[in-house]
């Protein structure tokens, strides 16, 4: 499996919690899209295998016209070998989705929608500075189903200030009743340089207590299981057969390339990331000068990457894989550290496979970092 990620660096407005790279102004959009199409062409030899997934992320990809999105897809099919059954996803805002837009997406081969709902509560949406309301969120999913999309995922956020367990349960019930095949649920994180960070710092809002967030996460797991969803990654839930191909490729360390400013790429032994500056990206692409940074991954880096991504997923960490890829020393380190977490009932093992328990999922990042090998 290999994937192509297209980063669209524009949004209509900035959400209070978001620290992703994008611009509100679209004055350079024409030059940006031209530069991104050039990067697609220039990197045609970077993926040796057939492309199994294409993902439009951002930013807000649904801010682009039908023609602009279709041009990207035409270029990818022209310069890369794309599997006939490739998963092609576009992230969308609910208020961008009309019947005409959805029909056009379907016609051009987009077969998976990722709708950025975040909440079905208008108070939460206003606090997050989202551009849609709860009615639009519900109607966008219903319309997508009516048009014929059979693979729809939505994003939800929990752990919001003043959000009660009842509020969160209401969000989940509305989502389940919409009949989506997949959803992602993220605990609100406080990132510096965001509006949310400054609201908290100035004491205009408060952070939800950890114990309340844990209760929301536990409710999430229980309700998802009741409704037949598989908790296949810490933040991701799917019906059987609907795991995200694109994200699974990330988590299984498959090769992928990222197109556009701030986009990341990975080829198994090195990682590269494009400049975050729209202006520099356009200038350097146009003049054929370097527009990215690159790092070679040491054996320790590759081990740590495997631990971090696999531990969060349903398939877990395989100690045999560690031994085969990195040697006995790495395997011995892992087994020793993992045993501590087994005693704490945060990790369970089945033969050579180690996975997180429900208790462990709450502190997944802490467990992973404890299993890392840090070079002295």
| Domain coordinates in residue numbering, the chain | 2-250, 299-371
The per-residue pLDDT for range 124-136, each reduced to its tens digit, is 999 999 999 999 9
Tell whether domain 299-371 is in CATH 1.10.10.920: yes
d(CA 83, CA 327): 35
The 3 state secondary structure assigned to 33-65 is HHHHHHHHHHCCCCCCCCEEEEEEEECCHHHCC
Q: Which CATH superfamily is domain 2-250 in?
A: Aldolase class I (3.20.20.70)
**223: pLDDT strictly greater than 70:** yes
d(CA 41, CA 9): 19
- Mean local confidence (pLDDT), 232-249: 98
Sole residue written with tokens 């462990």: 360
- Mean local confidence (pLDDT), 240-246: 98
pLDDT at 16: 87
CA separation, residue 290 to residues 86, 268, 283, 284 (Å): 30, 21, 10, 6
pLDDT at 204: 82
Task: Give the confidence band of 376 by pLDDT, cuts at 50, 70, 90.
Answer: low
pLDDT at 227: 98
Three-state DSSP state, 80: coil
Q: By the 8 A CB rule, do 59 and 7 touch?
A: yes
Q: Which of 8-22, 195-209, 362-376 has the highest mean pLDDT?
A: 362-376
How do 347-350 and 317-318 pair as beta strands? unpaired
Q: By the 8 A CB rule, do 237 and 231 touch?
A: yes
Instruction: Report the interhelical angle of 319-326 vs 328-343 (nearest 10°).
Output: 150
**21: pLDDT strictly greater than 70:** no
d(CA 121, CA 148): 26
- Per the prediction, the chain carries an average pLDDT of 96
């Amino acid at each position: 499996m290999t994937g192509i990620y297209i980063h669209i660096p524009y949004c209509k407005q900035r959400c209070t919690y978001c620290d992703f790279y994008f611009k509100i102004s679209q004055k350079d959009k024409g030059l940006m899209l031209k530069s991104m199409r050039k990067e697609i062409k220039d990197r045609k030899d970077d993926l040796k295998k057939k492309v199994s997934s294409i993902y439009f992320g951002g930013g807000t990809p649904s801010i682009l016209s039908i023609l602009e999105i279709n041009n990207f897809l035409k270029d990818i099919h022209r310069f890369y070998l794309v599997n006939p059954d490739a998963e092609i996803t576009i992230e969308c805002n609910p208020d961008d989705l009309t019947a005409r837009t959805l029909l056009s997406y379907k016609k051009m081969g987009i077969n998976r929608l990722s709708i950025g709902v975040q909440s079905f509560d208008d108070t939460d949406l206003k606090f997050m500075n989202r551009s849609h309301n709860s009615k639009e969120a519900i109607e966008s999913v219903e319309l997508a189903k009516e048009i014929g999309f059979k693979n729809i995922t939505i994003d939800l956020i929990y752990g919001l200030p003043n959000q009660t367990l009842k509020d969160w349960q209401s969000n989940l019930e509305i989502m389940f009743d919409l009949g989506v095949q997949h959803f992602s649920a993220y605990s609100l994180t406080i990132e510096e340089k965001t509006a949310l960070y400054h609201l908290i710092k100035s004491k205009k809002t408060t952070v939800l207590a950890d114990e309340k967030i844990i209760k929301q996460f536990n409710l999430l797991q229980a309700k998802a299981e009741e409704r037949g969803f598989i908790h296949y990654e810490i933040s991701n839930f799917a019906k059987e057969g609907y795991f995200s191909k694109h994200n699974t490729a990330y988590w299984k360390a498959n090769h992928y390339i990222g197109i556009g400013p701030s986009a990341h790429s990975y080829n198994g032994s090195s990682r590269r990331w494009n400049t975050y500056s729209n202006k520099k990206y356009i200038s350097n692409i146009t003049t054929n000068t370097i527009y990215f940074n690159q790092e070679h991954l040491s054996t320790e880096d590759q081990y740590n990457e495997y631990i971090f991504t696999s531990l969060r997923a349903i398939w877990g960490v395989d100690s045999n894989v560690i031994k085969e890829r990195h040697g006995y020393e790495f395997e011995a380190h892992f087994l020793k550290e993992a045993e501590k977490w087994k005693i704490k009932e945060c990790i369970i093992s089945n033969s050579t496979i180690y996975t997180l328990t429900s208790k462990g999922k709450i502190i997944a990042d802490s467990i992973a970092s404890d299993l890392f090998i840090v070079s002295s």
